[in-house]
Structure 1
Amino acid sequence: MSPNLDNFYAVIPAGGVGSRLWPLSRANRPKFLHDIAGTGETLLRSTWLRLVPLCTEQRIMVVTGEAHAGEVREQLPELDGENIVLERSGRDSSAAIGLAAAILEQRNPGALLGSFAADHLVHSDVRFRRAVREAVGAAEEGYIVTIGIQPVEPSTAFGYIRAGDPLSIAGAPSARAVEAFVEKPSLGTARRYVSSGEYLWNAGMFIAKAARLLEVLAENAPELAAGVREIAAAWDTDRQEEVIERVWPTLDKIAIDYTVAEPAAKQGALAVIPGFFGWDDVGDFASVSRVHLEADSDAAITVIGDADRVVSHEATGLVVNRTDRVIAVAGIPNVVVVDTEDALLVTTCARAQQVKELVAKLRDSSHPEVL
């Protein structure tokens, strides 16, 4: 039985800085606004195109910061002006997704939404949409639903979902109960998870009836739920700006995993659909290098930018070239060089996760302007 998608709305939270991709990703131009994967489309645009066949252009909502509104509109000219929600400040995913759910429920009390990050990469859009349709089928039965990614390696960069028994839902034959969420594990633990076949990567995709999501949010973060409902009640009225300015800064800054997903799992109300569509959060330069290497396995050095200005000898890795300088690399395996007008990063793929700590040091340095 195929689920009815007439009331399905897609929400794209387009926030965060992507600090592990500094200096390419900056506060004023985060990674979702870049063509990180070399597909010819930015990550945001790719996400939009992936979702349109599921819900049409009129039923996609983007939640983003005020500073990014202009470029979001430029990259998504089809986006309905009523469907862009601008955050005064970053309050994390509970507030962003909660407000989107409250607005959609007010406009359509039967609305069912799916939240999909603006800065992830999917290899098979067809298989992705198949998984979303199953997720909608499970959500129609009252579940909060997530799509978990079939691991391809024992990664320590992602959280994990432990899948339990099948749920026997007609519109979602592969749906399983979620037994637990697990934070990013050690390598040894990740190896055990992958070999067991019981764990999936947590990709942060959530599908639910808007009213059901708000119900769980109210049970676990009542002040936050009341706040987003108050803002939504004033949305599209002459009170909108006043209410946002008063209420938004008071909302707790907390991820939706902790206010909705994990509590729902403990109640037996969370389902997971295994995803077999190829996924990457392209969260650091090691991931970016891997994505490009898969596309061109013969390249010793992957270049994002002007390849004619990059010369290498007995070196492998990734060079991101955003200047007119010639970059020469010799004798370094798995190097990462990111050259921009005002900042230069040199590291290795093995140390790519440490860029986040480097950014923290820069924030406290005498040159925070480069962030």
Structure 2
Amino acid sequence: MTDAKTSPRAGFYPIIPAGGSGKRLWPLSRANYPKFMRALGAPGSSLLRATLTRLRPLAPEENTYVVTSGVLAPLISRELPELPAGNILVEPAPRESGPAIALAAAVIATIDPEAVMGSFAADHVVRHPERFCAAVETAIKGAEDGNLMTVGITPTRPETGYGYIRRGSAIGDTGMFRVEEFVEKPKYELAKEYVDSGEYLWNASFFVWRVQVFLEELQKREPEFHDNLQIIAAAWWSDEREEVLARVWPNLPKIAIEYLLMEPAARDGMVATVPGDFGWSDVGDYHALGEIQGGDENGNVIIEVDAAREADRYRSASDVRMSDSKNLVVVSDGSRLVTAIGVEDLVIVDTSDVLLVCDRSRAQDVKKMVDELEKAGAAEYI
């Protein structure tokens, strides 16, 4: 149902980058069944479907695009059968967020040169979608005025796992602020200074802009990248698409959209932000997952994964038993009994082929284990 205060906009085109494997949630998240396919926000709805659902009040479904890999495209088609087949844009190979988002901008420009486009990650949780829509509506207005917009998250604590946006002066009484700079993930003391100052927002990588403004800025700052992108866009709706992609795509750099465009544009006063407070989480690791679910009276969270049906349920699973244990995050596929006695602050993930046990405070280090497995050539576990 569309929110009464928000109506779909014919000229707004949301895109959903859906290519990451979510290494910090391994082995629950795998290369062939990644994090965004899991119901990590609420039972019965994958993160990807939840993303599409909260975008519906902002744009008609035929305007929504997903950018992904060839391996994941069939999975996404099955998960979102209402999305037109042509709205799944397939990258020949992952090259980070810069090329993925730029590809969508160039393709959308061939359909509607006056379009306003927004980019929203496939694997985030938003608890208050109506507040999210209100923030995006404000960002759309800023984009229509020629700004490259981002929706930042009002921080609730010092967080070392997120990048930050330093906001500058207010733009009138619009609810928007000029962006001074994007900041890398800080150490704890610096993150505390950021939050205490009130000048910083978390960078959730939510972006909104007019496609023509985006492409003009790209042409000015990265002319070779822009020209290669235009070659791809010109062939996108023809029989030559695959040949052109195979030839041109490898020439594009592997680069995040912040480095490609947003950071240099911010230095030139082209970027503005809308602070958002809508119950956001990137579900970045098992500790964050535990916080989202809340836990029982002892702070324990049990997640039962039905591997056969690739569906997730949150309940007191019969195959997990705990005694005198606190603040555990336990994920089980039900193939065997999992027990825990007298332990605290652990992550335990038990799947058919992998058992992961780690201190909950080291949850972000799961990515390091996946990197080690990749180096060792253990692709069957990734």
State TM-score, norm by structure 1. 0.95
Counterpart of 1:336 (choices 347, 363, 378) is 347
Render the CA deviation track for 1:267-295: whole Å, top value 9, x for unaligned: 101000000111100011110011011xx
Q: CA deviation at 1:30?
A: 1.1
**Which letter does structure 2 place at the counterpart of 1:341?**
S
SS of structure 1 residue aligned to 2:185: coil
Q: CA deviation at 1:297?
A: 5.0
How high is the sequence identity, in percent, across the aligned residues?
44
Aligned to 1:28: 32
Give the unaligned 5+ runs of structure 1. none
**Which letter does structure 2 place at the counterpart of 1:138?**
G
Q: CA RMSD in A?
A: 1.6
Aligned to 2:198: 197
Is 214-223 or 184-193 further displaced after alignment? 214-223
Correspondence 1:191-340 to 2 at 5 A: 191-293=192-294, 296-305=295-304, 307-316=317-326, 317-340=328-351
In 2, Cα distance between the equivalents of 1:90 and 1:269?
Answer: 28
Aligned to 2:69: 65
Q: CA deviation at 1:95?
A: 0.7
Aligned to 2:378: 367
Counterpart of 2:108 (choices 79, 104, 111) is 104
SS of structure 1 residue aligned to 2:58: helix
**Which letter does structure 2 place at the counterpart of 1:31?**
K
In 1, Cα distance between the equivalents of 2:269 and 2:299?
Answer: 48
Render the CA deviation track for 1:33-79: whole Å, top value 9, x for unaligned: 11122332100000000101100111100001110111101111110
In 1, Cα distance between the equivalents of 2:193 and 2:286?
Answer: 26
Query: In the alignment, does 2:146 pair up with 1:124?
Result: no
Correspondence 1:50-89 to 2 at 5 A: 50-89=54-93
In 1, Cα distance between the equivalents of 2:7 and 2:340?
Answer: 53
How many equivalent pairs are there?
366
In 2, Cα distance between the equivalents of 1:165 and 1:47?
Answer: 31
Give the unaligned 5+ runs of structure 2. 1-5, 306-316
Render the CA deviation track for 1:293-328: whole Å, top value 9, x for unaligned: 1xx452532111071110111212100011321000
**8 Å Cα contact 1:149/1:275 also seen in 2:** yes
State TM-score, norm by structure 2. 0.93
In 2, Cα distance between the equivalents of 1:323 and 1:214?
Answer: 49
In 2, Cα distance between the equivalents of 1:174 and 1:350?
Answer: 36
Q: CA deviation at 1:242?
A: 1.1
**Which letter does structure 2 place at the counterpart of 1:218?**
Q
**Which letter does structure 1 place at the counterpart of 2:154?**
Q
**1:126–1:24 distance in 2 versus 1, CA, 3 Å:** same
**1:29–1:237 distance in 2 versus 1, CA, 3 Å:** same
Indicate the structure with greater helix content: 1
**8 Å Cα contact 1:9/1:112 also seen in 2:** yes
Correspondence 1:41-56 to 2 at 5 A: 41-56=45-60
SS of structure 2 residue aligned to 1:308: coil
Q: CA deviation at 1:367?
A: 2.9
